[in-house]
Chains A and B, each alone.
Chain A
Amino acid sequence: MDSTIQERITGFIKEKYESDILSVETPYNFLTINLKKDHIIDIIRHLYEHPEGKFQYLTTLCGIHLPELKQIAIMYQLHSLVNNWRVRLKIYLPEDNAVTPTLTTVFSAANWMERETYDFFGVKFTGHPDLRRILNVEDMIMFPMRKEFPLEDQTREDKQDFMFGR
């Protein structure tokens, strides 16, 4: 995407929420704006309702665990269908208290995406209409995409040493 367009999109946020911007980067030429967590829903609504921007399509939403920083990032990817512009917004939540307001008030499509993020990262979306596991078994007690949980099934027997005479 053209860097002048990227600056314009950043400008849309700066109109009202300049103090919320932590940093702006363009990995693989994809505009990514790191934000403070407090007004994320207001910022997304602002981009949604913006007369020029019209970011009215939520491409995806997911969690990212950053174990070194003890943080969980939430990534929102928006698409302006009218202009064919894309933007990625990121907020950072503390690992031990990952709570953020739900985006379902702006995009209904965020419902299942937030359930998935809850399922895998344990992020609580306050105000979500039905926050429960979506992909994993309901009685699972862990949040498997967090790095402290091992990927492997701990009850597996055929890889143990005695199977190989060790």
Chain B
Amino acid sequence: MQATQTNNNIKLVEKPDGYEGAGFFATSLDKVVGMARKNSIWPLPFATSCCGIEFMATMGAHYDLARFGSERLSFSPRQADLLMVMGTIAKKMGPVLRQVYEQMAEPRWVLSVGACACSGGIFDTYSVLQGIDRIIPVDVYVPGCPPRPEQIIDGIMKIQHLVETESLRRRDSPEYKAMLNKYGIE
């Protein structure tokens, strides 16, 4: 009988630190949950302009965000872990973006891609929001106009680091609630 060919090049995530013995492995829950979350982030792309085009390249075969466990885009904020804001946010779009953020379930992260989302960029004008951090909290900023896919991937990896090392109790902490209250979010 012919043996089934298997691909042995699959790279697995390394197991977290812990105690190992015959038939058991013990580690902290934080580490296991962090590892699981880190490698299955569901991003919600909020793409309004050219940074969104770079994101399309990032999702494509060449850069392939699937390598980071993020190939499953969520177009419903309720099922998303990561809000990726890519592009100019006009002031009129502000309440929409805020509502999308509010609809996301905890834990949630925000990646601000490109100069416009981070600071308004070249659009120093009355109609453009001068950085999305005026209405929602941002975890990682990716500069560039627009940033290359490598930079977006770098931002995702920074998010992954935050996700991996976040304490399970952070979202219940008074500091976190105070931070959300600063933005007027319950």
Q: A interface vs B, CB < 8 Å?
A: 135-137, 140, 142, 144, 149-153, 155-159
Give the chain A neighbours of B58 by CB distance below 8 A. Answer: none
Q: Does B24 contact A (CB under 8 A)?
A: no
A157 to B120, CA, bound (A): 10
Pick from A136, A157, A159: contact of B127, CB under 8 Å = A136
Give the chain A neighbours of B125 by CB distance below 8 A. Answer: 151-153
A100 to B122, CA, bound (A): 37
Query: Secondary structure of the B side of the interface?
Result: loop
Q: Does B15 contact A (CB under 8 A)?
A: no
12 contacts between A and B (CB under 8 A): A135-B127, A136-B91, A136-B92, A137-B94, A140-B126, A142-B126, A144-B127, A151-B126, A152-B126, A153-B130, A156-B130, A157-B130
Q: Does B119 contact A (CB under 8 A)?
A: yes
Give the chain A neighbours of B117 by CB distance below 8 A. Answer: none
A151 to B122, CA, bound (A): 13
Give the chain A neighbours of B124 by CB distance below 8 A. Answer: 151-153, 156, 159
**A156 pairs with B120, CB closer than 8 A:** yes
Query: Secondary structure of the A side of the interface?
Result: loop
Q: Does B84 contact A (CB under 8 A)?
A: no
Sorted from nearest, which 6 A-B pairs have the closest CB atoms? A156-B130, A152-B124, A144-B126, A137-B91, A137-B92, A158-B119
A91 to B165, CA, bound (A): 66
Identify which of B92, B120, B126, B127 gathers the most chain A CB atoms within 10 Å of its CB: B126
A114 to B125, CA, bound (A): 23
**B128 pairs with A153, CB closer than 8 A:** yes
Q: Which of B113-137 contact A (CB under 8 A)?
A: 119-120, 124-128, 130
Query: Chain A's nearest CB lies how many Å from the CB of B93?
Result: 10
Give the chain B neighbours of A151 by CB distance below 8 A. Answer: 124-126
Query: Chain A's nearest CB lies how many Å from the CB of B128?
Result: 7
Give the chain B neighbours of A140 by CB distance below 8 A. Answer: 126
Query: Chain A's nearest CB lies how many Å from the CB of B18?
Result: 45
Query: Chain A's nearest CB lies how many Å from the CB of B149?
Result: 25
Give the chain A neighbours of B120 by CB distance below 8 A. Answer: 153, 156
Query: Chain B's nearest CB lies how many Å from the CB of A21?
Result: 37
> Considering only CB atoms, which chain B residue lies closest to A153 in the complex?
B130
Query: Chain A's nearest CB lies how many Å from the CB of B96?
Result: 12
Give the chain B neighbours of A157 by CB distance below 8 A. Answer: 130
Query: Chain A's nearest CB lies how many Å from the CB of B183?
Result: 16
A35 to B58, CA, bound (A): 57
**A155 pairs with B130, CB closer than 8 A:** yes
A155 to B126, CA, bound (A): 10
Query: Chain A's nearest CB lies how many Å from the CB of B123?
Result: 9
Query: Chain A's nearest CB lies how many Å from the CB of B48?
Result: 16
